[in-house]
Amino acid sequence: MRIALYHSVPLGGAKRIIFDQVKRLNTEHEITLYSLNNLENQFCDLRPIVKESFFFPFIPTGLFQSPFGRINQAIRSYDLYRLKNLSKIIANHINRIKYDVAYVHPCQFTGTPWLLQFLNVPSVNYCQEYNRFLHEKIQSRPYFYTSSWKYFLDDIDIFSRYYRFNLRSIERNGLKHANCILVNSQFIRQEIDRLYKLNASVCYLGIDSDLFTNLGQKKHNIVLSVGMLTPSKGFDFIIEGLSHIPEHYRPTLLIVSARQQPDERNYLVQLANTHKVRLRILSTVDNTTLVKIYNQAKLTIYTPYREPFGLVPLESMACGTPVIGIDEGGIKETIKDGITGRLVSRDPTELASKTLELILQPELISNMGRAGRDYILQEWTWDKRIKLLEYYLDKAANEKAKTWN
């Protein structure tokens, strides 16, 4: 197939997913990349593995600082209008070449891309998550400005309402225009149905089991968590949970984070100090270093709020390290409770109990680690997952072709 690939995601798990998919699709299909030129391309660089790349110029308009911050939603709405016009240009380019199918990933500015509404070629939209900004409340933090006047102004702010209305319209109409919606978990499939009454197909992600592998290294008294330093990742819950473990057993918490909100970092450091939890935070590390850290940790703990899927448990299990995961969202679809790790409710005493249970039993950690590695090789390799993705791409291309004949 001739595939037009579109994405505009920054560095992080979403970009790694696209890279891993394209690297394998590229062996059988001809892929052309379409993206925006404001992205960091050194991380999981797609350019060397696709036939051709087209980057379109887009720089977001500068935002105001307090006390003029409320104008920013009007500025963001203006940027949505600019993106709409740019998306028409990109779509026209794709339509002229008449690819067999357009494979569309998220946009960092809109979630579901504008592009889907302007494509004439068959389209498959990989919806990694719904727009959580629209549908979920952010977790409370002490550093948030919580004046009652702020809440009152938020309720009547016409700029904010207009911006959210536009985002919701883009998401709804984009999903409706896609010939096929793919999602990464049953959780997201159910949410798409609940929000928009649309059918989506689960096309699970995979893991590079050659990269993420068991190195047989000595385990240290650390528990690992990985993800952006934002309230939604639930690192504060991990700190609170570890604080319930007696100090002489309490492990160090190591967080590896590619992107960090300074206020959230400061909050977590202060929280750890208050609870006497040893905390280390590493910024972006290369893949080799990340694999070593997975191997050296006794456990990985992963407790984000309503995580759509989460690569972290799969990466950890592939490295032979058990995972304690929150029993929410897509995470409960990957961890086999009692076999490759443990699932916990959002109760810090339960998290402490199950963490202590494992770190006091090195043999149990070892057994779960081996089971996790075997589980990845049996169920979660990219070689297995990519075949299903190819099926959906081919199906969309052939079904749309029939309507043209």
- The residue ranges of every structural domain in the chain are 2-206+383-404, 220-380
**pLDDT band, very low/low/confident/very high, at 404 (cuts 50, 70, 90):** very low
Number of alpha helices (DSSP H) and beta strands (DSSP E) in the chain: 13, 13
Q: Is the pTM of this model over 0.85?
A: yes
Is the model's pLDDT at 108 over the cut of 50?
A: yes
Residue 7, token pair as written in the block: 């994405």
If you average pLDDT over residues 360-375, what whole number do you get? 97
Residue 148 has pLDDT above 60, yes or no: no
Q: Options 3.40.50.720, 3.40.1390.10, 3.40.50.2000, 3.30.540.10; which CATH number does 220-380 get?
A: 3.40.50.2000
405 pLDDT band (50/70/90 cuts)?
very low
Mean pLDDT confidence for 319-345: 97
Q: How confident is the model at residue 401 (pLDDT cuts 50, 70, 90)?
A: low
- Sorted by sequence, the CB contacts under 8 Å of residue 250 that are 6+ apart come out as 242, 243, 276, 277, 278
Asked, colleague to colleague, whether 2-206+383-404 and 220-380 share their fold, the answer is: yes
2-206+383-404 has CATH 2.60.40.1080 classification: no
Q: What is the pLDDT of residue 63?
A: 83
Average pLDDT over residues 316-328: 98
Task: Assign 149 a pLDDT band (cuts: 50, 70, 90).
Answer: low
Are the C-beta atoms of 308 and 230 separated by less than 8 Å? no
Q: 51-65, 270-284, 320-334 — which is least confidently predicted? A: 51-65
The tokens for 189 are 């499939």
Q: What is the mean pLDDT of the chain?
A: 91
Q: How far is CA 157 from CA 152, 160, 183, 311, 343, in A?
A: 9, 5, 33, 37, 41
**Is the model more confident about 157 or about 314?**
314
pLDDT higher than threshold 70 for residue 155: no
Asked if the model's pLDDT at residue 151 lies above 80, the reply is no
Q: What number is the average pLDDT over the span 78-107? A: 96
Q: Per residue in 191-220, pLDDT tens? A: 999 999 999 999 999 999 999 999 999 999
